[in-house]
């Protein structure tokens, strides 16, 4: 199933894994006054290629214009809008919340039971909750944890991948896919 976010597009770019690539990509966004909602970058199964997942608000920028501009950059190998097809997306958050009394600890436990969240550290005053889920679910969990008292928070940003045989990989590294189709 598509995990569409209203008015958001997840653009995935395969880039050369070399110094300065992230700066060139973000500079392109800055020069064209495009806003980034979320940016996540990591290595792929190939040491020479990294994968960027860039989430943008489609009411403020045109996804296809952004994709065309990304393709003009030398270190960019391939670009796709995974939001336009069936995909899986996830966001990870670590949220430190107040947990210095029985009521806050009970509330925290109940919230974690309602979401794919778990307590990964707990001390006398604060606890750290980890949640990995679709962005909307992470947002909903954060809203509930805010009622207890968020002290600190960090998020990875959205990562997304096409479902099934939809493969975004450099042409040189594509593995054979059933019936010879590529994503």
The whole-model pTM stands at 0.80
Residue 17 banded pLDDT, cuts 50, 70, 90: very high
Q: Which CATH class is domain 8-87+163-171?
A: alpha beta
Mean pLDDT of 101-115: 97
Asked if the domains 8-87+163-171 and 88-155 are classified in one and the same CATH topology, the answer is yes
CATH of 88-155, one of 3.30.70.1150, 3.40.50.300, 3.90.1150.10, 3.10.20.600: 3.30.70.1150
Q: Is the pLDDT of residue 163 over 70?
A: yes
Specify the pLDDT at position 174. Answer: 41
Over residues 73-80, mean pLDDT: 91
Model confidence at 43: pLDDT above 50: yes
* Core vs surface per residue 49-87: b (16+ CB within 10 A) or e: bbbbbbbbbeeebebeebbebbeebebbbbbbbbbeeeb
């Amino acid at each position: 199933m598509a995990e569409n976010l209203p008015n958001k597009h997840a653009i995935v770019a395969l880039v050369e894994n070399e110094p300065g690539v992230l700066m060139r990509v973000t500079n392109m966004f800055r020069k064209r006054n495009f806003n980034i909602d979320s940016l996540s970058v990591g290595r792929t199964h190939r040491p020479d290629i990294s994968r960027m997942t860039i989430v943008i608000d489609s009411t403020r920028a045109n996804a296809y214009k952004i994709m065309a501009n990304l393709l003009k950059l030398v270190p960019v190998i391939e670009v796709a809008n995974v939001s336009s097809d069936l995909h899986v997306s996830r966001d990870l958050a670590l949220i430190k919340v107040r947990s210095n009394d029985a009521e806050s600890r009970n509330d925290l436990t109940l919230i974690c039971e309602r979401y794919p969240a778990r307590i990964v550290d707990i001390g006398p005053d604060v606890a750290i909750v980890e949640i990995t889920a679709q962005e909307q679910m992470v947002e909903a969990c954060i809203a509930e944890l805010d009622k207890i008292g968020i002290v600190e928070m960090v998020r990875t940003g959205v990562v997304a991948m096409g479902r099934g045989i939809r493969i975004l990989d450099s042409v040189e590294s594509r593995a054979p896919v059933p019936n010879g189709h590529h994503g």
